[in-house]
Structure 1
Amino acid sequence: MSDPLAGIPLASIRVFEAAARLNSFTRAAEELGMTQAAVSWQIKALEGRLGQSLFRRLPREVVPTESGERLSRAATEAMSLLRRALLDLTEADQAILSITTLATLATQWLAPRLGEFQLAHPELAVRLDTAAHLIDLSREGFDVGIRSGTGEWPGLESVEVMPSVFTPVCSPRLRDQLGLQTAEDLLKAPRIGLEKEWAVWFAAAGVAADGQAPSRLRADYQALEVASALGDQGVALASPILFARELAAGLLVQPVPLSVKLVPGYAYWLVWPEGRRRSPKIARFRDWILAAAAADPALRAARETAEAA
Structure 2
Amino acid sequence: MRRLPPLAAVRVFEAAARHENFTAAAAELGMTQAAVSYQIKLLEERVGVPLFVRARRQVTLTDTGRRIAPLVSGAFDTLDTAFASVRAEDAAMLTISTSLTFANTWLAWRLGGYQMAHPDLAVRMLTTDTLTDFVSDDVDVAIRTGRGEWPGLVAKLLFRNAFTPMCSPAFLARHGGTLAPADLPGLPLISPHDPWWNDWLRDAGVAVPDGPIRPGIRLDSQANEGHAAIAGQGMAMLTPFFWRMDLAEGRLVRPFAQVSTRGYGYWLVYPEHRRTVPKIRQFGEWLLAEVAADLAQLDAG
* Cα deviation digits, residues 56-81 of structure 1 (max 9, x gap): 5677551341x434422221111112
Aligned partners of 2:76, 2:260: CA distance in 1, in Å?
56
Which residue matches 1:289? 287
Confirm or deny: 8 A CA contact 1:293 1:299 kept in the other structure.
Answer: no
Tell me by how many angstroms 1:107 deviates. 1.3
Alignment of 1:247-258 (within 5 A): 247-254=247-254, 256-258=255-257
Tell me by how many angstroms 1:104 deviates. 0.7
What is the one-letter code of the residue matched to 1:11?
A
Which residue matches 1:186? 184
Question: Quick one: which of 263, 266, 282 aligns to 2:264?
Answer: 266
In 2 relative to 1, CA 299–72 (structure 1 residues): closer, same or farther, beyond 3 Å?
Answer: same
Q: Which runs of 5+ in 1 are unaligned?
A: 305-309
* Cα deviation digits, residues 235-269 of structure 1 (max 9, x gap): 11112221222223322233x13342242x12222
Which residue matches 2:112? 115
Confirm or deny: 8 A CA contact 1:294 1:300 kept in the other structure.
Answer: no
Moved more, 229-238 or 71-80: 229-238
Confirm or deny: 8 A CA contact 1:190 1:216 kept in the other structure.
Answer: yes
Moved more, 204-213 or 279-288: 204-213
Which residue matches 1:307? none
* Cα deviation digits, residues 254-309 of structure 1 (max 9, x gap): 3x13342242x12222222235444333332222222112211576429x9xxxxx
* Cα deviation digits, residues 76-97 of structure 1 (max 9, x gap): 1111122233333334333333
Which residue matches 2:51? 54
Tell me by how many angstroms 1:180 deviates. 4.5
Which residue matches 1:93? 90
In 2 relative to 1, CA 267–15 (structure 1 residues): closer, same or farther, beyond 3 Å?
Answer: closer
Aligned partners of 1:229, 1:174: CA distance in 2, in Å?
8
Alignment of 1:206-225 (within 5 A): 206-210=205-209, 214-225=214-225
Aligned partners of 1:244, 1:251: CA distance in 2, in Å?
10
SS, match of residue 138 in structure 2: coil
Moved over 6 A (4+): none
Alignment of 1:157-236 (within 5 A): 157-182=154-179, 183-193=181-191, 194=193, 196-210=195-209, 214-236=214-236
Question: Quick one: which of 90, 99, 109 aligns to 1:102?
Answer: 99
Identity in percent: 44
Aligned partners of 2:157, 2:24: CA distance in 1, in Å?
49
Question: Quick one: which of 61, 72, 77 aligns to 2:74?
Answer: 77
In 2 relative to 1, CA 180–78 (structure 1 residues): closer, same or farther, beyond 3 Å?
Answer: same
In 2 relative to 1, CA 55–197 (structure 1 residues): closer, same or farther, beyond 3 Å?
Answer: closer
Which residue matches 2:25? 28
Aligned partners of 2:37, 2:296: CA distance in 1, in Å?
66
Confirm or deny: 8 A CA contact 1:102 1:131 kept in the other structure.
Answer: yes
In 2 relative to 1, CA 179–39 (structure 1 residues): closer, same or farther, beyond 3 Å?
Answer: same
What is the one-letter code of the residue matched to 2:114?
F
What is the one-letter code of the residue matched to 2:226?
V
Aligned partners of 1:13, 1:76: CA distance in 2, in Å?
10
Tell me by how many angstroms 1:26 deviates. 4.3
What is the one-letter code of the residue matched to 2:95?
S
Confirm or deny: 8 A CA contact 1:138 1:273 kept in the other structure.
Answer: no
SS, match of residue 269 in structure 1: strand
Aligned partners of 1:38, 1:268: CA distance in 2, in Å?
46
Aligned partners of 2:208, 2:28: CA distance in 1, in Å?
74
TM-score, normalising length from structure 2? 0.84
SS, match of residue 266 in structure 1: strand
Alignment of 1:128-139 (within 5 A): 128-139=125-136
Tell me by how many angstroms 1:160 deviates. 1.9
Question: Quick one: which of 141, 152, 166 aligns to 1:144?
Answer: 141
Number of aligned residue pairs: 297
Whether 2:237 is the aligned partner of 1:240: answer no
Whether 2:4 is the aligned partner of 1:10: answer no
Aligned partners of 2:265, 2:59: CA distance in 1, in Å?
64
Aligned partners of 2:199, 2:281: CA distance in 1, in Å?
37
Aligned partners of 2:208, 2:281: CA distance in 1, in Å?
46
Q: Which runs of 5+ in 2 are unaligned?
A: none
What is the one-letter code of the residue matched to 1:186?
L
